[in-house]
Amino acid sequence: MNKSWIAPLLISVMLLLGQQPCSANGLVQPQSEAPSRSESEPKLPDQDSRELMYKDTLMLFLLPYIEKKMAEIYAPLLTITPTVYPYLVEVTEMKRVNGFRRFDFLITLNIHPTVGPHLSVGEDTMTFRITPGPKVKLESFKHLRDPRKSDLTPNYQNILR
């Protein structure tokens, strides 16, 4: 019995059906079921750019300094240290301190620390001074919003002090 017709039949069926979107065990949420973000949280870009790559590189460079300050600020507010994801940090201002082609920068960031499954626990602004060396100094810090019980799921409300 010649079964050479099976392969072309399977290929034809696959081509007719086309690719269907799938989810791994239901982990992919439809857009309508995605958790809503706070109005103050940054809008995430949907494609890469040179500017975005520079910003992401800068965030990786500054992340240890940001995390150190977050641990200090949130210790009296939470029983755990919040996580700072580089994509939830906005560069709100960047300027050269001493004019064109001088390597002394002030960078102001708006930061949204989270816990667990990206639950917002506050908002902060930090201004760093970056000078040759490189040397990084936190010039100013402003805590804009404390964690709110209403922003946390019931199983995370116990982390509030």
Domain 48-159 maps to which CATH number in 1.10.3470, 2.60.40, 2.160.20, 3.10.450?
A: 3.10.450
The confidence band for 155, taking pLDDT boundaries of 50, 70 and 90, is: very high
Is residue 122's pLDDT more than 60? Answer: yes
- The predicted structure's pLDDT at residue 26: 41
User: Strand order in 135-145's β-sheet?
Assistant: 89-96, 105-111, 123-131, 135-145
Half-sphere CA count of 140, side-chain side, radius 13 A: 9
